[in-house]
């Protein structure tokens, strides 16, 4: 059995090479937008979502690496787009991301907005190149007003206001969980999974996504900026709707662990070969960045 850290490193290299190939070259006119896209995408990102897509695809017997890599990279481009926009002054107004100044600080605000737009367009170009309209539909739904955008809206609208566990669960499952769930689903769909397999992968993704954001909340409180590569303590300052703010650190840790155990249980029907997805779930709870 492969160690999960080695697995992540190996797959990150494959994803990084594919991203490098899909992104426009920095010396192509208009250079500033292509440089900005590369500035944000390339580098220290963990590539958790595309790796999840590839791992699910491989677990369910998917073969060939053309469509799956294009789909997986599309999700990383969308994820990076969301980070760029999340960091903008009109949203979280953050100065540090992936171990360097945020895009609007390194370039400017208009380029940061446009780089997000261009990454979204490139992501859908890659998805369309698979010839699979079902995949395009899945991703569009996951990131729209009933998905990632919706989660971000509630995140912003609850800032500084009283909130309930229902609010924070909605924010987490939409802002973060929707993309993680669709990452696992796409791997399964492209592998030709049956309905039962797809159902268990979807449940796995939902629990994993919730745990991922709870751990993100915990790291925002307790993590080190140098290790995380992004600002810390910001949620508390902005009075964000987070798990630790509502339940405290200890209970949040237990909740994250509970969601991870639940996620792994969903994979039991897939047999012992699901060990790598289970190891990815354990990585989510153990991560320090």
Residues lying near ligand GRG in the complex (CB under 6 A) are found at: 45-46, 48, 78-79, 81-83, 85-86, 91, 98, 143, 148-149, 152, 175-176, 212-213, 216
DSSP SS3 for 286: helix
Helix (H, G, I), strand (E, B) or coil at 101: strand
Residue 104 CB, nearest approach to ligand GRG (Å): 13
How far apart are CB 175 and ligand GRG at their closest, in Å? 5
Q: How far is the CB of 144 from ligand GRG (least distance, A)?
A: 7
User: What token pair was written down for 276?
Assistant: 């790598």
Closest to ligand GRG by CB, 2 or 140: 140
**Please, which residues have CB within 8 angstroms of residue 84's CB and are 6 or more apart in sequence?**
40, 102, 103, 104, 112, 115, 116, 119
Positive or negative: CA dihedral 26, 18, 134, 54: negative
Helix axes 195-222, 249-266, angle to 10 degrees: 160
- Give whichever of 184 and 193 is closer to ligand GRG, judged by the CB atom: 184
Nearer to ligand GRG, 144 or 192 (CB): 144
Tell the residue number behind the tokens 């190149």, with chain if given.
Answer: 129
Between 228 and 267, whose beta carbon lies closer to ligand GRG? 228
In whole angstroms, the minimum distance from the beta carbon of 78 to ligand GRG comes to: 5
Q: Please give the helix or strand (H or E) that residue 242 lies within, else none.
A: none
Complex with ligand GRG: residue 46 or 100, whichever CB lies closer = 46
Contacts by 230-235, CB closer than 8 A, 24 or more apart: 230/94, 230/96, 230/97, 230/98, 231/94, 231/95, 231/96, 234/92, 234/94
In angstroms, give the least distance from the CB of 58 to ligand GRG.
20
* Residue 45 or 205 having the CB closest to ligand GRG: 45
Q: How far is CA 249 from CA 61, 165, 246, 256, in A?
A: 39, 15, 9, 10
CB of 234 to ligand GRG, least distance (A): 12
């Amino acid at each position: 059995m492969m160690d999960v850290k080695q697995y992540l490193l190996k797959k990150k290299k494959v994803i990084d090479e594919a991203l490098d190939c899909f992104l426009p070259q920095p010396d192509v006119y208009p250079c500033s937008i292509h440089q900005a896209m590369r500035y944000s995408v390339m580098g220290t990102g963990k590539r958790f979502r595309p790796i999840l897509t590839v791992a699910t695809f491989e677990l369910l017997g998917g073969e060939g690496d053309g469509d799956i890599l294009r789909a997986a990279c599309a999700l990383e481009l969308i994820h990076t787009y969301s980070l760029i926009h999340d960091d903008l002054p009109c949203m979280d107004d953050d100065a540090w991301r992936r171990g360097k100044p945020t895009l609007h600080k390194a370039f400017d605000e208009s380029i940061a907005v446009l780089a997000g737009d261009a990454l979204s367009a490139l992501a859908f170009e890659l998805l369309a190149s698979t010839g699979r309209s079902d995949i395009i539909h899945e991703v569009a739904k996951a990131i729209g007003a009933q998905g990632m955008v919706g989660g971000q809206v509630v995140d912003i609208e609850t800032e500084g206001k009283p909130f309930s566990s229902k609010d924070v669960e909605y924010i987490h499952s939409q802002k973060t969980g929707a993309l993680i769930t669709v990452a696992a689903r796409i791997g399964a769909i492209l592998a030709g999974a049956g309905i039962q397999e797809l159902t268990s992968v979807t449940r796995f993704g939902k629990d994993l996504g919730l745990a991922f954001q709870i751990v993100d909340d915990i790291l925002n409180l307790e993590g080190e900026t140098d290790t995380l590569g992004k600002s810390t303590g910001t949620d508390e300052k902005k009075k964000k709707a987070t798990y630790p703010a509502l339940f405290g650190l200890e209970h949040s840790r237990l909740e994250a662990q509970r969601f991870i155990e639940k996620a792994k249980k969903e994979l039991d029907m897939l047999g012992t070969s699901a060990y790598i997805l289970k190891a990815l779930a354990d990585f989510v709870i153990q991560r320090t960045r």
